[in-house]
């Protein structure tokens, strides 16, 4: 990025993915950051407290801050969301994932501010319409839970807008894993759960398959290491701020490896990263998620490559090994 003093707003900054984005930006010499989130959670404090930034702003005060500030924002990265897929009250998701996001979009339109925002692969539902980041299928998608519905409703609203920020992208995150998810509990990645179960019991229990097309543990997901994700967000932000991002590149993009892998492979890699012999068994999937469970996801990554991103991604094995040895085993944050 030509100007290391560029002012960049990052929402959700106390959370898993955003805090990793902040660290990566710091590593590139970008410290003029404005962090937005609800900062009252003590369990999230290690994610952001030691980062370099100019200011932290409470999520509920953000728009009043925008009205009062004279600071020109060079790019807004909106990753803050309600991400709990087991929360079935749609109104909770709608408030933050749709209405709040619409307000951010409108601010960026009015102030000609480049915008990068988080969508989700949860929008694809069972994958009846495939996993292509093609705007033409967004209206047809049938997400399986209120979280996915809220993300898809915002995507639908976005592509219907005649007025847009000068540069913008929506990013459909697939199964992201990596450091700084200690606070997520039930919603943390399978690797995090596996590491803790193996540490305590010497074994890992995976969900049985309740779909005859998939064997136990062979449910397939596109697992994507957060260190690859943050490089993509930095690249997009840099292109937008340096005016290299052309209008034809605006749109919604998948963020995954492009290769589905099984939960069994994921857990094998976790055991290997811990230097422990595998010991895997299977348990019934909880009733509350059984009929809303994705058995296969795989990102079509052609669009991102055609936009110009050329870096290779971690393999499942190399990403899990880095996460387990470098962070979980050391109880370390990124």
User: Domain containing 70 — which CATH number?
Assistant: 3.40.50.720
pLDDT at 109: 98
3-state DSSP percent of the chain in helix, strand and coil, to 5: 45, 15, 40
Looking at the structure, tell me whether residues 75 and 40 fall in a common domain: yes
Q: Taking 80 as the threshold, does the pLDDT of residue 292 lie above it?
A: no
Phi-psi map region of 308: left, alpha, beta (phi>0 left; psi -120 to 50 alpha): left
Look up residue 70 and give its two tokens. Answer: 């004279």
Phi-psi map region of 7: left, alpha, beta (phi>0 left; psi -120 to 50 alpha): beta
Q: Is residue 322 part of a domain?
A: no
Q: How many domains does the chain have?
A: 2
Looking at the structure, tell me whether residues 60 and 191 fall in a common domain: no
pLDDT at 220: 95
Looking at the structure, tell me whether residues 235 and 204 fall in a common domain: no
Phi-psi map region of 57: left, alpha, beta (phi>0 left; psi -120 to 50 alpha): beta
Looking at the structure, tell me whether residues 161 and 187 fall in a common domain: no
> Active-site positions?
147, 184
Q: Is residue 329 part of a domain?
A: no
Per the DSSP assignment, residues forming a β-bridge with 183 are none
Domain carrying residue 230: 8-177+223-258+298-314
Q: Is residue 331 part of a domain?
A: no
pLDDT tens for 106-123 read 999 999 999 999 999 999
Look up residue 210 and give its two tokens. Answer: 């309740």
Looking at the structure, tell me whether residues 250 and 276 fall in a common domain: no
Looking at the structure, tell me whether residues 212 and 240 fall in a common domain: no
Q: Is residue 324 part of a domain?
A: no
Q: Is residue 333 part of a domain?
A: no
Q: Is residue 328 part of a domain?
A: no
pLDDT tens for 152-211 read 999 999 999 999 999 999 999 999 999 999 998 888 999 999 999 999 999 999 999 999
């Amino acid at each position: 990025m030509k100007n290391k003093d560029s002012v960049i707003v990052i929402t959700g900054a106390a959370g898993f993915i955003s805090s990793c984005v902040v660290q990566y930006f710091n590593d590139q010499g970008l410290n003029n950051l404005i962090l937005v989130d609800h900062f009252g959670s003590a369990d999230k404090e290690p994610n952001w407290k030691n980062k370099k930034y100019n200011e932290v702003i409470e999520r509920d005060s953000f728009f009043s801050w925008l009205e009062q500030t004279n600071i020109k924002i060079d790019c807004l990265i909106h990753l803050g969301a309600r991400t709990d897929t087991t929360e079935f009250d749609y109104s909770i998701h709608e408030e933050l994932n749709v209405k709040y996001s619409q307000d951010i979009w409108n601010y960026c339109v009015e102030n000609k501010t480049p915008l990068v925002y988080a969508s989700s692969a949860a929008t694809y539902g069972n994958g009846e319409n495939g996993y292509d980041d093609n705007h033409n299928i967004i209206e047809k998608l049938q997400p399986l839970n209120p979280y996915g519905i809220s993300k898809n409703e915002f995507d639908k609203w976005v592509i219907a807008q005649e007025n847009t920020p000068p540069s913008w992208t929506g990013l459909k995150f697939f199964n992201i894993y990596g450091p700084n998810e200690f606070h997520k509990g039930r919603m943390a990645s399978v690797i995090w759960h596996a590491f803790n179960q193996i540490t305590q019991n010497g074994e890992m229990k995976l969900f049985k398959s309740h779909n005859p097309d998939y064997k136990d543990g062979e449910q397939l997901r596109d697992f994507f290491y957060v260190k690859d994700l943050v490089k993509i967000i930095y690249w997009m932000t840099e292109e937008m701020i340096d005016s290299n991002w052309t209008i034809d590149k605006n749109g919604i993009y998948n963020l995954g490896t492009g290769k589905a892998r099984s939960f069994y492979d994921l857990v094998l890699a976790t055991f290997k990263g811990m230097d422990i012999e595998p010991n895997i068994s299977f348990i019934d999937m909880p009733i509350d998620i059984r009929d809303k469970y994705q058995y296969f996801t795989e990102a079509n990554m052609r669009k991102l490559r055609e936009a110009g991103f050329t870096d290779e991604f971690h393999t499942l094995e190399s990403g899990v090994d880095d996460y387990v040895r470098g962070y979980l085993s050391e109880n370390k944050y990124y």
